[in-house]
Amino acid sequence: MEYMFKFCNLPDDKSTIKVVNEAASRLHYKLKGMNLETLDISDYNKKYFGSLLGNLHSNLQRYAYILVWSITKIDVPLNKLVFLDYGGGSGMLSLLAKECNIGTVIYNDIYDVSARDAELIGKAIGEQADYYIPGDIDEVIDFLKNNSINCNVIANYDVIEHIYDIEEFLKKISLISNNNLRVFFSSGANPYNPFIKRKLTKYHQMCELVDREQVFGDKERDLLEAYSKIRTKLIKSLNPNLSEDQVAYLVTATRGMVESDIQKAVNEFSASGSITLKQKYPQYPTNTCDPYTGNWAEHLMDIYQLRNILQSENFQADIWRGYYGDSNTLLKCLAARSLNFLIKNSGRYGLVLSPFFTLCGNIAPPSSN
């Protein structure tokens, strides 16, 4: 199967694997000839979606893996299935879902520019999702409720590491359905892979301490100023009477907080001389986020704690290992397949080698008996 990771764990459902593999092949053909310059999309997605097209085969393997596990052996025919691509970004997962003839495909992203661009890209190749919802989980829940839609599957890639309050999000997702629900959240912010962890901690420090210049393809909402400088200004504006040492303390203490929480921390400190609001993952002290949007800079998290949260919400949940896609050179392909073999046969220790992890789970409605 050309669009399945080599030597990875796949479901014992050959018919679904065949459907997704053939859909990925067709989508590859449609996307390969796409000229993004002819579309009225943002520079951000010309750059980002263009980068996905540059290594299209490998990226389609990843999305095919996510999709095949999301829809396998589910008690709903594909043409009746409701699939939610939450935080869909470029929309490639939605495109693949539509190519599989899934009954209802819903795209969502908190960034309205991405939602608009994803719809234009879908129209351009005739694979438009059924709905495009800009906003966060609350907007999605309201939309589904108002339209009497129950989701069967919610899936994504590289989303959960950006959600400001991931615990609150996980506690809300059961609200998108009154029926059986499957979740499949894959993330490249794998804290168990030492190479990824080292790379991301350096990225955290850059976002926290270094101003950057605007370049082609930046998101309009992305900040150019270092996060610590922005928090410094916010803290001083909230309480101009603070000393420089107090400001410096609060800048450090509020790392990884959004503006509303920074305000709470400053108010508490001003009243009591201390703060009780702390980072939720102190084992990863370099974590930081955009103080205005709460968008995490590749949040390193306790992924088994995330599993426990889902389990507390009546999901059967687990953490799975991710795999490498084929590359453009034979040597890299051989290396990726060798690593996949090791990952597959190393149990949970395979996370040390994995390029991503997946938080997956299933929930069923309570029995009527």
- Nearest CA to 152 among 73, 90, 98? 73
At 262-313, the pLDDT tens digits run: 999 999 999 999 999 888 899 999 999 999 999 999 999 999 999 999 999 9
At 98-114, the pLDDT tens digits run: 999 999 999 999 999 99
At 18-39, the pLDDT tens digits run: 999 999 999 999 999 899 999 9
- pLDDT tier at 367 (50, 70, 90 boundaries)? very low
Give dist(CA 91, CA 260) in Å, integer: 30
Q: What are phi and psi of 360, to 5 degrees?
A: -125, 155
Radius of gyration of the chain (CA): 21
3-class state of residue 222 by DSSP: coil
Q: What are phi and psi of 138, to 5 degrees?
A: -65, -40
Q: Which residues lie below 8 Å from residue 361, measured CB to CB, with a gap of 6+?
A: 182, 183, 307, 310, 311, 315, 316, 317, 318
Average pLDDT of the chain to the nearest whole number: 95
* Cβ atoms of residues 327 and 160 within 8 Å: no
The secondary structure of residue 159, as a DSSP letter, is -
Give dist(CA 369, CA 364) in Å, integer: 14
Q: What are phi and psi of 42, to 5 degrees?
A: -65, 160
Domains of the chain (ranges; CATH) run: 14-191+301-363 (3.40.50.150), 194-272 (no CATH)
Q: 218 pLDDT exceeds 90?
A: no
- Nearest CA to 3 among 68, 53, 56, 64? 64
Q: Which residues lie below 8 Å from residue 272, measured CB to CB, with a gap of 6+?
A: none
Give dist(CA 85, CA 157) in Å, integer: 9
Give dist(CA 281, CA 303) in Å, integer: 10
* Cβ atoms of residues 276 and 325 within 8 Å: no
* Cβ atoms of residues 268 and 276 within 8 Å: yes
* Cβ atoms of residues 87 and 161 within 8 Å: no
Q: What is the pLDDT of residue 150?
A: 95
- pLDDT tier at 180 (50, 70, 90 boundaries)? confident
Identify the helix (H) or strand (E) that includes residue 172.
helix 166-172
Residues 199-204 have a mean pLDDT of 98
Q: 362 pLDDT exceeds 90?
A: yes
Give dist(CA 197, CA 191) in Å, integer: 5
At 31-63, the pLDDT tens digits run: 998 999 999 999 999 999 999 999 999 999 999
3-class state of residue 279 by DSSP: coil
Environment class of 43 (CB within 10 Å of its CB; exposed 0-12, middle 13-18, buried 19+): middle
pTM of the model: 0.95
Measured CA to CA in angstroms, residue 15 lies from 10, 69, 73, 265 at distances of 12, 12, 10, 54
* Cβ atoms of residues 104 and 144 within 8 Å: no
- Nearest CA to 181 among 305, 71, 99, 68? 71
Q: How far apart are the first and last CA of the chain?
A: 43
Distance of CA 302 to the CA centre of its chain: 16
Q: What is the pLDDT of residue 369?
A: 36
User: What's the one-letter identity of residue 66?
Assistant: I
